[in-house]
């Protein structure tokens, strides 16, 4: 049949034999806000490379002033590399609260998605957006951001991107900015061999789904021990291009073992920085993105704010 299902990644995306791609969530968008009533944060959309439809939403905290420049945060959204955008209602709310808590100028990158644009396109878009941000030519960045205090952050697949961008900073050492640190919220990493509690039945199902998804978004994937998936197998991991890392994991998230493993690997690889990992009891994957304004979400954002500003 022409409309037979070819790939089923419920609840994210389905692909049919006739080429139709059906995204099942993360498709809503909202406009930027001249003044978010809950946080006082302003936002606007910018084109980075319109010829490839690469863009971003930039955020400015309420007390921004030209006389005191603020850290610059480049943020990468989650969604398994296949759904969501920098312009969704969920990420608009999340970034508003994050920017207000951390008092930063933020660039939320709208990288292109698989399968139309398979990996490594998202990585190339993300790198281009980082370098564009660090050029400091955009008005808000030029007037309010301190390029000697740059941070990267992301959740799930976006946390994977943030790590891989920091690795590229370490290897290429680009001029014009200083990457101080990265924060990874429930990072989407994997590996061939199970670790810790990944041997449970629930985790096995999660690992199988993740491996199928990773092969879908990067069709040339050899296995899940490639360095971009499993930093523990990266011989260059000690070259991580920042001085500090904050990792968040959630008790009910099968990916939590990968966050703890990441901390172990980075702590023992010869990297000279400082890494912290926190596990939040009773919560599931990217809980603070889904609900950034409840007690637990706010507590996490405060921890991120402290990480950036201290």
What are the catalytic residues? Answer: 156, 253, 285
Q: Which of 86, 77, 96 is nearest to 30 (CA)?
A: 86
Burial class, 77, CB count within 10 angstroms (exposed 0-12 / middle 13-18 / buried 19+): buried
Residue 124 token pair:
């190339």
Name 65's bridge partners: 68
- Angle between helix 157-172 and 121-135 (nearest 10): 60
Alpha-carbon distance 245 to 274, whole Å?
6
The DSSP H or E segment spanning 208 is helix 201-217
Alpha-carbon distance 200 to 50, whole Å?
46
Bond prior to 115 in cis (omega within 30° of 0):
yes
Alpha-carbon distance 146 to 177, whole Å?
9
């Amino acid at each position: 049949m022409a409309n037979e299902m070819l790939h089923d990644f419920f609840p994210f995306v389905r692909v049919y034999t006739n080429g139709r791609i059906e995204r099942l969530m993360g498709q809503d968008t909202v406009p930027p806000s001249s003044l978010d009533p809950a946080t006082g944060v302003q936002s606007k959309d910018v084109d980075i490379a319109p010829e490839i439809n690469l863009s971003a939403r930039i955020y400015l905290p309420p007390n921004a002033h030209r006389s005191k420049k603020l850290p610059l945060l480049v943020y990468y959204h989650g969604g398994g590399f296949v759904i969501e955008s920098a312009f969704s209602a969920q990420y608009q709310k999340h970034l508003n609260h994050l920017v207000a808590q951390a008092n930063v100028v933020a660039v939320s990158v709208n990288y292109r998605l698989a399968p139309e644009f398979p990996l490594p396109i998202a990585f190339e878009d993300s790198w281009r957006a980082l370098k564009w941000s660090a050029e400091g030519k955009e008005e808000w960045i030029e007037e309010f951001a301190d390029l000697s205090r740059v941070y990267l952050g992301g959740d799930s697949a976006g946390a994977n991107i943030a790590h891989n961008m920091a690795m590229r900073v370490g290897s290429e050492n680009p001029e014009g900015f200083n990457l101080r640190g990265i924060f990874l919220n429930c990072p989407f990493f994997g590996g061939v061999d199970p670790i810790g509690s990944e041997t449970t039945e629930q985790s096995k199902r999660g690992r199988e789904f993740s491996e199928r998804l990773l092969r879908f978004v990067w069709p040339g994937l050899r296995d899940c021990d490639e360095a971009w998936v499993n930093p523990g197998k990266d011989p260059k991991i000690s070259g991580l291009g920042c001085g500090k890392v904050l990792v968040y994991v959630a008790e009910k998230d099968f990916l939590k073992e990968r966050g703890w493993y990441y901390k172990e690997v980075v702590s023992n690889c010869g990297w000279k920085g400082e890494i912290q990992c926190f596990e939040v009891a009773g919560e599931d994957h990217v809980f603070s993105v889904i609900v950034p304004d409840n007690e637990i979400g706010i507590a996490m954002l405060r921890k991120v704010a402290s990480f950036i500003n201290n």
